[in-house]
């Protein structure tokens, strides 16, 4: 696959590469030079694999603040 470099030194990642590497808008990639070749590696946000693994509810902010204050006061005794 071949792409061109624009006057702003930008290039387009071919669709087949984007699909094969599961790249999307705002993903980050890392550029390296290894043995005279350019190596581009996608940087995946590993924390996203935990998405929806913790269930949350509406909660009670006043109760949570009170619990936090109690815990903090016990640590300082």
Query: What are the helix (H) ranges across 1-77?
Result: 15-20, 61-75
Digit-coded pLDDT (tens) for 6-64: 999 999 999 999 999 989 888 899 999 999 999 999 987 676 667 777 777 788 889 98
Q: Which residues of 28-54 are buried (b: 16+ CB within 10 A; e: fewer)?
A: eeeeeeeeeeeeeeeeeeeeeeeeeee
Q: Report all structural domains of the chain as residue ranges with CATH numbers, in order of start.
A: 1-50 (2.10.260.10)
pLDDT confidence bin for 4, thresholds 50/70/90: very high
Q: List the structure tokens of 66.
A: 């009170």
Q: For the chain, state the CA radius of gyration.
A: 23
């Amino acid at each position: 696959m071949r792409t061109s470099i624009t006057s702003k030194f930008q290039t387009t990642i071919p669709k087949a590469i984007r699909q094969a590497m599961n790249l999307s808008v705002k993903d980050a990639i890392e550029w390296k030079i290894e043995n005279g070749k350019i190596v581009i590696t996608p940087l995946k946000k590993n924390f996203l694999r935990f998405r929806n693994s913790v269930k949350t509810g509406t909660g009670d902010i006043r109760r949570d603040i009170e619990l936090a204050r109690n815990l903090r006061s016990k640590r300082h005794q």
